[in-house]
Amino acid sequence: MTEQCDVLIVGGGPSGSSLAWALRDSGLDILIMDKKSFPRDKVCAGWVTPAVMESLQVDLEDYSSKHVLQPITSFQTSALGDASVQTEYGEVVSYGIRRREFDDYLLQRSGARTLLETPFKSMEREDDHWLVNGEVRAKLVVGAGGHFCPVARQLGTKLGHKEKVVAAQEVEFELNEEQKKQCSLKADEPELYFLKDLSGYAWAFRKGDYINIGLGRDDNHKLSEHVQAFADYLKEQGKLGFDITERFKGHAYLLQPDSSREILEDNVMLIGDAIGLAYAQSGEGIRPAIESSLMAAEIIKEANGDYSKARLEPYRDRLYERYGKPRPGAKSWIPQGFKQFIGRKLLGNTWFSRHVVIDRWFLHRQQAPLQSK
């Protein structure tokens, strides 16, 4: 038997579930397909800004009553091995969340029908519809499956081909009673360590009884060695008094300036990491993923059932207006050695660390929250 829907969203993460939530009063029949069951683990450092919670109209009191919601009021930043700079705000400027909980919460809240534990296998045109997996007929298919989204491949993306991706590894686990005594990390103060060659950064972040440690860089060269060296560094510095025995897990994502992926076609569009919208300086993907979903929802509602490429084109315009046009392959005219020298000097500057690194690169405080209509 064939399943029918107006909009099929392939991927139940934050972008997919946020799109479904934004379309909840549209009168459209929304179906979310995902290869996993929820709740499921997701590799991610796991912090979101108040702007994200405001855009999604999340009731913070309700959410924190059942899930980890770690207020963040300060940061420590440094070039790895150099003295750190503490930036205190005296107010909550971000929140630590567990992606396992956050993603499940958003999916359940969306109110959409779900088709879980169902991998995307095929997609065939049938007049003005798509037939997915030979079983689901949809007027519009939205790819929300992250960096490796299969719908992106349908639009011609050759995953890994000439794409400059960021590779990262992280681990998150619950501290036992003995480990809590041997951990000096402050729960409200994530620590960010930029790599000496400025090719990425590492982080150490405690969320209540949980801890998240990871490292990402713009190439995959000896990534595991860099991660292990960072874990050893944390122990040498007295941040952790124990060895990390849990396995680090890897993931990849595409930064917005480097993305050359097609965004839409007749009756098809991509959102979130399926496009490659992660911020260039921080690698954060949650906020742009959710904002792209809210923009997509507006276009879908305005389309009034006409999902031709021409009718969906304003979606691309709104993305570019918000984030700028991608510049894949663009080269910096600044010599790498000079950039590293100046970069490390600036990272030790209190004003630069606060107003540029944290405010602009990580919190994007200069940009107002995108409101759902």
pLDDT in tens, 270-281: 999 999 998 888
Average pLDDT over every residue of 205-213: 95
- Do the domain assignments include residue 221? yes
Same domain for 177 and 233? yes
List the domain range (segments joined by +) for residue 277: 3-46+98-160+255-323
pLDDT of 331: 60
Predicted structure pTM score = 0.93
Same domain for 242 and 359? yes
Peptide bond into 39 cis (omega under 30): yes
Could you give the number of structural domains in the chain?
2
Same domain for 121 and 15? yes
Same domain for 129 and 263? yes
- Do the domain assignments include residue 114? yes
- Do the domain assignments include residue 226? yes
Rounded CA gap, 328 and 69, in Å?
A: 36
Same domain for 185 and 266? no
Q: How far is CA 277 from CA 111, 244, 261, 274, 353, in A?
A: 26, 31, 11, 8, 24
- Do the domain assignments include residue 66? no
Same domain for 170 and 312? no
Same domain for 248 and 294? no
Phi then psi for residue 139, to 5 deg, are -75, -35
- Do the domain assignments include residue 275? yes
Rounded CA gap, 50 and 262, in Å?
A: 30
- Do the domain assignments include residue 330? no
The secondary structure of residue 242, as a DSSP letter, is S
Bridge partner list, 255: 278
Confidence of residue 336 (pLDDT cuts 50, 70, 90): low
Same domain for 171 and 211? yes
Confidence of residue 9 (pLDDT cuts 50, 70, 90): very high
Same domain for 201 and 271? no
**Long-range Cβ contacts of 203-206 (<8 Å, 24+ apart):** 203/45, 204/234, 204/239, 205/45, 205/46, 205/47, 205/96, 206/70, 206/96, 206/175
Confidence of residue 264 (pLDDT cuts 50, 70, 90): very high
Instruction: Reduce the DSSP state of residue 114 to 3 states and report it.
Output: strand
Residue 369 has pLDDT above 70, yes or no: yes
Q: How far is CA 113 from CA 21, 29, 146, 245, 301, in A?
A: 11, 8, 20, 39, 18
Which among 266, 298, 1 has a CA at the least distance from the CA of 140?
266
Same domain for 186 and 130? no
CATH code, domain with 80: 3.30.9
Q: What single-letter amino acid sits at 229?
A: A
Same domain for 184 and 290? no
Confidence of residue 328 (pLDDT cuts 50, 70, 90): confident
